[in-house]
Amino acid sequence: MISLDTFLFILASGVLLGGLYALMATGLAIVWTTLGVFNFAHGTFVALGAYIAWQVTQSVNGGMGFLLAAALSVIMMYGIGYLLHFVLIKPFERNANLVLLAVITTLAAASIIENHILIGWGPRDKQIVPPVSGAISAFGASINIYDIVVLAVALFSLLAMALFLRRTSIGRAMRAAAQNREVAELMGLNVSRLYAMTIGLSAATAALAGVFAGSLRFINPTFGTDPLMKALIIVILGGVARFTSPIYAAFIVGIAESVSVYFLGLYWAPAVLFAMMITVLLIKPEGLFGHRSRTL
């Protein structure tokens, strides 16, 4: 048997991972539910967000620098996501093969962004310095204060996003465009702009996830591969029936990952997660928290 503090340590790191994954997966899920396409460039949004933040922290030090870096990264990635809609998806939206074409264009964008990161920032590992340090101990296990901050901010951002989509007119218009494009157009809503805003919002959450991930581990040009894979597993595992489905799934995946890393080792963790995903696909293809519809 494992001791209580080991158990708590595994649980805590799993929950932290879950918070980060929830940010990554929700962004992917809102694009999937709204536009009906899968964004393979989502992982590179995480990476690019991390690099932008790192660049800012090079010029401004300390806690203020980190805040400024995070804010600039989120705002810039919103803009980049917004513009990319008009390059990657809009030109093909009247094509019957939109889903397939979007796979190709977003994969191309992922490759182009990744290589430009390599050209611009070089291959060497970098790390964003976390703004707070220190740890608190509870039940014999010590937990980093920064981990708690990351989890809190991640959950707060998701809550803010949910409220934005439910309570504000623009958020409601975005959901309307996601649920019935034709009727949204007949209401005079500018659906293209709402779609672009959805991708922007998705890229902004990816950037926030990137800033946090980049301060917890090292960033390099292929930094986006792992988040994309995890987000993919989560979205399939949890389904996209509700805004919260991928969030629950993210915590399941986070905890499953830290458990399997402890008991089976780092290299077996992805195998365990994919096995979980395949099992769910076989038994309940619409996802653990899904039913046969996709909505925002």
Partner 1 sequence: MTETPLLELRGLGGGYPPISVFRNIDLSVGMHESVGFFGPNGHGKTTLLKTVAGLIDPWEGDIIFAGNRLNAEGRMRARTSKNLNYDLFRKRRIRAETVVNAGLIYVMQGNLLFPEMTVEEVLDIAPLAAKGRTGITAMRQRVDDLFPRLQERRGSKIRYLSGGERQMVSIAVGLLALPQMLILDEPTLGLSPKLRIELAQAIRKIRDSRVPLIIVDQNIEFLTGLVDRLFLFDHGSITREIDSGSMPKHAEIMTMMFGEAN
Among 234, 229, 233, CA closest to 245: 234
Q: Which residues pair with 144 in a beta bridge?
A: 135
Cα–Cα dist 157/85, whole Å = 23
Among 1, 119, 186, 283, binds partner 1 (CB under 8 A): 186
Q: What single-letter amino acid sits at 136?
A: I
Give the chain's end-to-end CA distance (angstroms, integer).
Answer: 43
- How many of the chain's residues bind partner 1 (CB under 8 A)? 25
- Binders of partner 1 among residues 82 to 111 (CB under 8 A) are 91-95
Dihedral sign for Cα atoms in the order 117, 60, 27, 260: positive
| Least separation in angstroms between CB 213 and partner 1 | 31
Q: Which of residues 257-296 bind partner 1 (CB under 8 A)?
A: 293, 295-296
Among positions 8, 153, 176, 259, the unique one binding partner 1 when judged by CB under 8 A = 176
Nearest 10 degrees: CA dihedral of 138, 156, 254, 293?
150
Stretch that binds partner 1, among 20-28, 137-145, 187-195, 209-217 (CB under 8 A): 187-195
Among the listed residues 25, 53, 54, 175, the single contact to partner 1 using CB under 8 A? 175
Per rule CB under 8 A, is residue 244 in the interface with partner 1? no
Q: Are the C-beta atoms of 154 and 212 separated by less than 8 Å? A: yes
For residue 189, the minimal CB distance to partner 1 (Å) is 6
For partner 1, the binding residue among 6, 60, 142, 185 (CB under 8 A) is 185
Q: With binding defined as CB under 8 A, does residue 133 bind partner 1?
A: no
Q: Which residues pair with 136 in a beta bridge?
A: 143
Q: Is 189 in the site for partner 1 (CB under 8 A)?
A: yes
Span interacting with partner 1, options 48-56, 165-173, 229-237, 283-291, rule CB under 8 A: 165-173
User: Using an 8 Å Cβ cutoff, are 13 and 255 in contact?
Assistant: no
Amino acid at position 128, single letter: I
Task: Determine, following the binding rule CB under 8 A, whether residue 124 of this chain makes contact with partner 1.
Answer: no
Q: Which two tokens stand for residue 115?
A: 């290589």
| Residues paired with 285 in a beta bridge | none
Stretch touching partner 1 by CB under 8 A, among 71-79, 171-179, 232-240, 275-283:
171-179
Contacting residues toward partner 1, per CB under 8 A? 91-95, 166, 169, 172-173, 175-176, 179-180, 182-190, 293, 295-296
